[in-house]
C-alpha cells in the first residue's frame, strides 16, 4: 500500500478516536461531578450514543496505531518519503483542524460555563481538551522535524504507552457503565416487556371506559378501534403475559424480567422519570396492579396510570 495512502488513513482515523476518547472523558467528568440542573444523563450520553462512541474508539484507535507503526517502519527504509509534499500537507491540515476543534470546543464550554455550569466541571473539561490537543500538536510537530534515521525516542515510547493505557481505561469505564453485550440485550428485552405492558394497560383502560367493565382476556382487546398493542407475548419466550381482574376496576399484569430497573438506573446514574416509575421492576416475575380509569383523564392531567407498588415474586 502506498506511503501516502497510509498517511491519509491515519489522518482519517485520528479525529475519530480522539473525539471518541474526549467524549468518554467528558462523560466521566459529568458522572463524577453531577449537576442538579441536568436531567437524564447529566448532560452526557444516552446508552445508544455511548455505544457508538465506544465502537468508534475500538475500531479507530488500533487502526491508527497500526498505520503509524507501518509509517515508522517505512520511513527507515525509504527516508525520502518523509519529504513528501502529500505527507507535509496532510500534517498541516491535521494541525489546522485540531486548532479549529480546540477553538470550537472551548467556545462551547465557555458558553456552558457562562450559562451556569459548575466551575470545576468546566475547568476539567477545558483541561482535557487542551491536554488532548497539545498531545496531537506535539507529536505532529515532532513528525515534521524527524528524519528516517531518527531513533525512536524513549520519551515518545512513554507517551505512547500512557496514551494506550488511558484509552484502555476509558474503554473499561464505558463497559462498566453500559454492561456487557449480554446485559444490554437483557435490558432491551425488559424495555420491550415494559413497553408491551404499558400499551396493554392503556388498552384495558380504553376498554373499561367504553364498556364500564374490564376485559376477560387479551382477545377482547383486538376489536378496539384506534389502539396499538405491539405484542401480548414475552419477546424472548413467546409466553402470553399474565393478566387477571382483581375487582370491577382493578386488574393485574405480570411479566418475567431479566434485569433490575433500579440497578440499571443506578449504574447509568439516570434518575427515573416520574412517568416511568410505575413500571419499575426487579429480576424475576413482577406483577403490576392497576386501577382502571379513563385514558382521556390521564392525558388531561399528564399523569401515569395509578398503581400500587410492583410485587416481585
- pLDDT in single tens digits along all 313 residues of the chain: 566 777 788 888 988 999 899 989 988 888 888 777 665 544 445 666 788 899 999 999 999 999 888 877 776 666 666 666 767 777 788 788 878 878 888 888 888 888 887 888 888 888 898 889 888 888 888 877 766 556 667 888 898 899 999 999 999 988 888 878 888 889 889 989 999 999 999 999 988 888 888 999 998 888 777 778 889 999 999 999 999 999 888 999 999 999 888 776 666 565 555 555 578 888 999 999 998 876 655 444 344 444 444 554 5
Strand order of the sheet with strand 311-312?
Answer: 242-245, 250-257, 284-291, 311-312
Q: pTM for this one?
A: 0.70
Amino acid at each position: 500500500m502506498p506511503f501516502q495512502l497510509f498517511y491519509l488513513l491515519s489522518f482519517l482515523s485520528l479525529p475519530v478516536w480522539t473525539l471518541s476518547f474526549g467524549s468518554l472523558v467528558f462523560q466521566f467528568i459529568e458522572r463524577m461531578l453531577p449537576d442538579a440542573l441536568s436531567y437524564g444523563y447529566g448532560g452526557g450520553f444516552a446508552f445508544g450514543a455511548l455505544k457508538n462512541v465506544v465502537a468508534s474508539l475500538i475500531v479507530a484507535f488500533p487502526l491508527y496505531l497500526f498505520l503509524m507503526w507501518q509509517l515508522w517502519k517505512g520511513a527507515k527504509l525509504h527516508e525520502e518519503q518523509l519529504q513528501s509534499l502529500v505527507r507535509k500537507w496532510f500534517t498541516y491540515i491535521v494541525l489546522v483542524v485540531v486548532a479549529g476543534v480546540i477553538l470550537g470546543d472551548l467556545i462551547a464550554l465557555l458558553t456552558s460555563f457562562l450559562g451556569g455550569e459548575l466551575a470545576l466541571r468546566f475547568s476539567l473539561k477545558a483541561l482535557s481538551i487542551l491536554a488532548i490537543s497539545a498531545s496531537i500538536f506535539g507529536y505532529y510537530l515532532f513528525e515534521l522535524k524527524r528524519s528516517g534515521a531518527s531513533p525512536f525516542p524513549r520519551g515518545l515510547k512513554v507517551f505512547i504507552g500512557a496514551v494506550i493505557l488511558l484509552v484502555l481505561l476509558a474503554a473499561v469505564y464505558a463497559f462498566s457503565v453500559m454492561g456487557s453485550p449480554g446485559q444490554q440485550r437483557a435490558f432491551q428485552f425488559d424495555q420491550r416487556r415494559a413497553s408491551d405492558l404499558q400499551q396493554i394497560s392503556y388498552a384495558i383502560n380504553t376498554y373499561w371506559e367504553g364498556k364500564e367493565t374490564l376485559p376477560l382476556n387479551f382477545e377482547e382487546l383486538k376489536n378496539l378501534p384506534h389502539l396499538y398493542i405491539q405484542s401480548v407475548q414475552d419477546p424472548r419466550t413467546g409466553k402470553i403475559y399474565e393478566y387477571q381482574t382483581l375487582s370491577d376496576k382493578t386488574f393485574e399484569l405480570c411479566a418475567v424480567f431479566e434485569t433490575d430497573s433500579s440497578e440499571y438506573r443506578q449504574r447509568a446514574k439516570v434518575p427515573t422519570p416520574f412517568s416511568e416509575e410505575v413500571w419499575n421492576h426487579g429480576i424475576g416475575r413482577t406483577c403490576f396492579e392497576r386501577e382502571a380509569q379513563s385514558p382521556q383523564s390521564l392525558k388531561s392531567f399528564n399523569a401515569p396510570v395509578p398503581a400500587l407498588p410492583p410485587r416481585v415474586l
